[in-house]
Amino acid sequence: MALRTIELWGSEVLRREADEIEQVDDEVRTLIGDMFETMYQAEGVGLAAPQIGISLRVIVVDVHDEVTQPFALINPRLVEASPELEKGEEGCLSIPGLTAVVERAAHVVVEGLDRDGQPLRIAGAGLLGRCLQHEIDHLNGVLFVDKVSPLQRNMLTRKWKKRR
């Protein structure tokens, strides 16, 4: 496994629509290993492949709760999203130091493939549900700063520019 560099807000790859994985092979499993290592080193709870500059549909998640084991999901699809919404504070390893309150579906179901290419279905609420939606957004070139009011986005943009 190897530590990869995390792409930051402003990087073009974060805005791209990531490609589907066609075959779950050792190359993909190596990528997943690297993603876990990079996520843990950065003390994150989720990471999407575009965040390490790889425009492929892979996410890894570890929300550190007792029931959900860490998992990787390949070609994840949101198959259910509750009509009830929930607000919660969010950050992103690609936008370190900034957070915002983001409204998302309170409960979601996501389907994809695991690292062996087997179907995997994850249902989540709370932090897990939020994390799944946040990471899938990354695969579509969407960042949490896109999901707040224009006023708030301006504020976040200003703070980010000051920091860089």
Q: For residue 58, state whether it binds Ni ion (rule: CB under 5 A).
A: no
Q: What are the distances in angstroms from CA 140 to CA 18, 67, 68, 163?
A: 6, 28, 25, 26
Q: For residue 6, state whether it binds Ni ion (rule: CB under 5 A).
A: no
Question: Using CA atoms, how far apart are residues 3 and 164, in angstroms rounded to an integer?
Answer: 22
CB of 93 to Ni ion, least distance (A): 6
The question of whether 17 is a catalytic residue gets the answer no
CB of 26 to Ni ion, least distance (A): 26
Q: Which stretch binds Ni ion (CB under 5 A): 18-26, 31-39, 84-92, 149-157?
A: 84-92
Q: Which stretch binds Ni ion (CB under 5 A): 27-35, 63-71, 86-94, 149-157?
A: 86-94
User: Residue 74: left (phi > 0), alpha (psi -120 to 50), or beta?
Assistant: beta
**Closest to Ni ion by CB, 53 or 117:** 53
Residues 6 or more apart whose CB falls under 8 angstroms from that of 163 comprise 97
Q: For residue 92, state whether it binds Ni ion (rule: CB under 5 A).
A: yes
**Closest to Ni ion by CB, 24 or 129:** 129
CB of 160 to Ni ion, least distance (A): 14
Residues 6 or more apart whose CB falls under 8 angstroms from that of 56 comprise 18, 19, 20, 21, 28, 31, 49, 50
Q: For residue 61, state whether it binds Ni ion (rule: CB under 5 A).
A: no
For the annotated catalytic residues, the residue numbers are: 135
Binding site for Ni ion (CB under 5 A): 92
